[in-house]
A and B are shown apart, each in its own frame.
Chain A
Amino acid sequence: MISQIFSLAFLAQTIRITVPYSLASLGGVYSERGGVVNIALEGIILNGAFCATVGTYYTGSPWFGLLCGIAGGLLVAAIHAVISIHVKADQIISGIALNLFAVGITKFVLQILFQSSSNSPRIAGLPYIKLAFLKDQPDVEHLLGNPLVLLTVLIVIASHFIIFKTRFGLRLRSVGENPEAADTVGISVTLYRYYGVLISGVLAGLAGAWLAFDQHSFTDGMSAGRGYIALAAMIVGKWNPLGAAAACLLFGFAESLQIQLQGGSLPTQFIQMIPYLATIIVLAGFIGKSAAPGADGIPYEKEK
């Protein structure tokens, strides 16, 4: 039975779930390392998915759709950035408002464009790289050959270097930890906070595009809480890119285990608890204290 569960298909399932989590979670890392709490990830994912669908549907090109997904994510992130950084409003409220707004606006435009309040017509997925050794398992091949999987891995690794080893990362972290200190050495707090939030828009927008291509359509509310799970993973991963990605992998694993175990002898309700149980156990037992960046969520006031 064990070998049945932990098959190649199981691996593929885990990766399919992990990719959007990781992208959004990394987005959270960039935003919060710069000092802006980004609950709006949920709405960014949803709008990214919607724009990717629309772009692909009307041009027939999933690559163009991908760009549309990124643009859709950027748009929501930009609104969050202006509200949080310029207007200095409460970032949690802004995030919640944007999430609700994204649910409404996508449904509304869906209705106008496709005369349906629940889902869009079918769209093409991204082309995949052919992997000869997986020829007899097309599902797995389609997934592992998806360029976004490779891209995600690259982004995770690159993010580690960007955040901890580059000038940009050092400055981004400084405006998130102690903006006054950054300001007094001539770093623009506003500029770097914008960078952080906008990067989160790109990454969570990509996560949304992944969901749309994976399902070959947009369905109402398809982000389904992934933005929040991504935030939880970011916290479990202590705001580190590698940690956040590892936490996403763990969540992805637990979730696909849950899917795999359904229909077996265990009660469904119990199995459905697994991902969340895993979260609680990891949070409480192994991670220890997880400290947010010092100025996370606090607008910067220049002249006190």
Chain B
Amino acid sequence: MPYAVELLNITKRFARTVANDEVTLKVQSGTIHALVGENGAGKTTLMETLYGLYQPDAGIIRIHEKEVSIKSPHDSIRNGIGMVHQHFMLVGPMTVLENIVLGAETTRYSLLDLKKTTAEISELGGRFSLTVPLNEKVENVGVGIQQRVEILKAIYRKADILVLDEPTAVLTPQESTQLFRILSELKDEGKTIVLITHKLSEVMAISDHVSVMRRGKIVGEVETASTSPEELAEMMVGRRILLRVEKNDRKAGDPVLSINNLSYIDKRGVNILNNVSLEVASGEILGIAGVEGNGQSQLVECITGLLKPTTGSMSVDGIQIAGLTPKEVFARGLAHVPEDRIKRGLVVEMDVAENLILGLHMQKEFGTGLAMNLKAIEENARFLITKYDIRPMNPDALARGLSGGNQQKVIIARELSRNAQVIVASQPTRGVDIGGIEFIHRTLVEARDAGKAILMISADLNEILSLSDRIAIMYGGQIVKIFPNNKVKESELGLYMTGSKRGSSQKASDG
């Protein structure tokens, strides 16, 4: 089969680092080619070079077996390349239609010919089951739709080579399934697709070939049919990786965190949380599964004192915490790994040592009165950096410069060093690479084995299934069902998550 894309010996350097080191990647026409690797392996840089956002320092790009010069996205679009970026490149206040035609407008009497364009896009949308509300503003539609807009944008420009960068990172399992169906249809129409991802189950499910990148180099290329997730993970990380979490059965102790009939009504009067009741016992991980936006974030914010619940009560070890400030809640034995590490977990302009004592800075060991005990802060940092394997191993490094996985480790190190009874962990491994995920999962299981009560919220069903002792499903601001983990199938969880099935009672039995 002929090649649609050939990247030959591409080298791209940034100030001090080599992002792509003589990378050669060949993609056969009409196939789905997965490009996998850990964060920072150079996958995105390679594809953005193909798309003309970067100029390679050396190397040749061939499209459909002809050498081309790609100096800007304009050139790559002309060569039939389309790219769906990880962070969508959409203009929020403009309509879906305007976003699709932007840069490739049709005009009539020098005005935009939206009528003709609407017809064209509707036809395209129908052909690939990419239905989108054309006259809605992009900022008012969900991420799943926004992604379709991005794909339509590329197809509308007649792209026959489509690059997608981590397309499922923001999608629910249902949306991901839909996306894969669309990608298969595009492939059937003869389009070539390059899929950047680090989720190996996706690679196995949809791709024809896989290339693995590590530290700026291609370390392997295989046919999907002849490989396994374990083999790919080993290539990605450079050592054997446990994709399963090793976890012993363990008898849970007494309830530590209890939530009773918690409700939250927001400023607009919308009922976000509706009589939520939960108990998390010492020595167990309770996983909350659910499609994002069903009240999980607000539940966590109510527990941690960031929001004031409208009604209901909560206690840690019998002590009431409802309505207290975050500082007071933490003083009563709670730790919090927030879902958005940049916004809530870290101060990225401060260094690692400082981030490791955020919220602990009032403790006597780190300072009294006006003076901080810099030595104690640094010692604390060195201890935690070693214990949690945070790279670079430098307390003075700015948090901004760390990879997502290492930023997350800083937060987990800090929160576990509180030695709290209850740990609330929201999306603990979002955007973290495989090596980091393994480490964070192991750490959480160790904390559970040490008798902590862990409430984990995750949009990643695999994570929920592999870590939780019990699984609670949230839908429409309610806990619709609680299962013991060993008695549930993924498909059944999905039915509850989408609201097509509901539990018989609020306080579902523990099995």
- List residues of chain A with CB under 8 Å of any chain B CB: 161, 165-167, 170-171, 173-174, 177-178, 180-187, 291, 293-294, 303
Contacts and interface: CB of A to CB of B under 8 A. Distances in A.
16 contacts: A165-B111, A170-B102, A174-B94, A174-B103, A178-B91, A180-B89, A182-B91, A182-B103, A183-B73, A184-B51, A184-B53, A185-B77, A186-B103, A187-B102, A291-B93, A294-B92
B371 interface: no
Given A177-B92, A178-B91, 18 more contacts: A167-B107, A170-B94, A170-B112, A173-B91, A174-B102, A174-B103, A178-B89, A178-B90, A178-B92, A180-B89, A181-B102, A184-B89, A185-B103, A185-B104, A185-B157, A293-B93, A294-B92, A294-B93
B400 interface: no
Contact of A174 (B72, B85, B91, B153): B91
A289 B140 CA distance: 17
Interface in B85-123: 85, 89-94, 98-99, 101-105, 107, 110-112
A177 B89 CA distance: 11
A285 B291 CA distance: 39
Interface of B: 51, 53-54, 72-74, 77, 83, 85, 89-94, 98-99, 101-105, 107, 110-112, 153, 157
A170 B54 CA distance: 25
B94 A166 contact: no
Contacts of A183: 53, 73
Nearest to A185: B103
Most buried by B among A185, A293, A303: A185
A180 B111 CA distance: 24
Nearest to B93: A177
Contacts of A187: 102-103
Given A165-B112, A170-B105, A185 B73 contact: yes
Contacts of A184: 51, 53, 73, 83, 85, 89
A139 to B, nearest CB: 39
Main secondary structure of the interface of A (DSSP, over half): helix
A205 B51 CA distance: 41
Nearest to B90: A181
A174 B101 CA distance: 11
Contacts of B99: 181
A198 to B, nearest CB: 20
A229 to B, nearest CB: 26
A165 B110 CA distance: 9
Contacts of A171: 102-103
Contacts of A181: 89-91, 99, 102
Nearest to B104: A185
Contacts of B85: 184
Contacts of A186: 72-74, 77, 103
Contacts of A291: 93
Most buried by A among B53, B101, B103: B103
B72 A185 contact: no
A166 B112 CA distance: 5
A293 to B, nearest CB: 8
Nearest to A176: B91
Contacts of B98: 170
Contacts of A178: 89-92
The 4 closest A-B pairs by CB, nearest first: A185-B103, A186-B74, A181-B89, A167-B105
A173 B94 CA distance: 9
Contacts of B110: 166-167
A166 B111 contact: yes
A166 B51 CA distance: 27
A166 B83 contact: no
Nearest to A293: B93
A178 to B, nearest CB: 5
A58 to B, nearest CB: 38
A94 B310 CA distance: 49
B88 to A, nearest CB: 8
A141 B392 CA distance: 77
B163 to A, nearest CB: 11
A184 B112 CA distance: 20
Contacts of B107: 166-167
A114 to B, nearest CB: 45
A42 B399 CA distance: 42
B55 to A, nearest CB: 9
Nearest to B83: A184
A140 to B, nearest CB: 36
Contact of A185 (B54, B89, B93): B89
B94 A177 contact: yes
Contacts of A180: 89
Nearest to B76: A186
A257 to B, nearest CB: 35
A173 B137 CA distance: 14
B121 to A, nearest CB: 15
A183 B72 CA distance: 9
Nearest to A295: B91
A73 to B, nearest CB: 25
Contacts of B77: 185-186
Contacts of A293: 93
B74 to A, nearest CB: 3
A106 to B, nearest CB: 38
A303 B105 CA distance: 26
A187 B157 CA distance: 14
A191 to B, nearest CB: 12
B493 to A, nearest CB: 36
Contacts of B72: 186
A269 to B, nearest CB: 41
A165 B111 CA distance: 6
Contacts of B53: 183-184, 303
Contact of A182 (B101, B102, B112): B102
Contacts of B54: 303
Contact of B102 (A161, A165, A185, A294): A185
A157 to B, nearest CB: 14
Nearest to A177: B91
Nearest to B110: A166
Contacts of A165: 111-112
A87 B476 CA distance: 50
Contacts of A185: 73, 77, 89, 102-104, 153, 157
Nearest to B87: A180
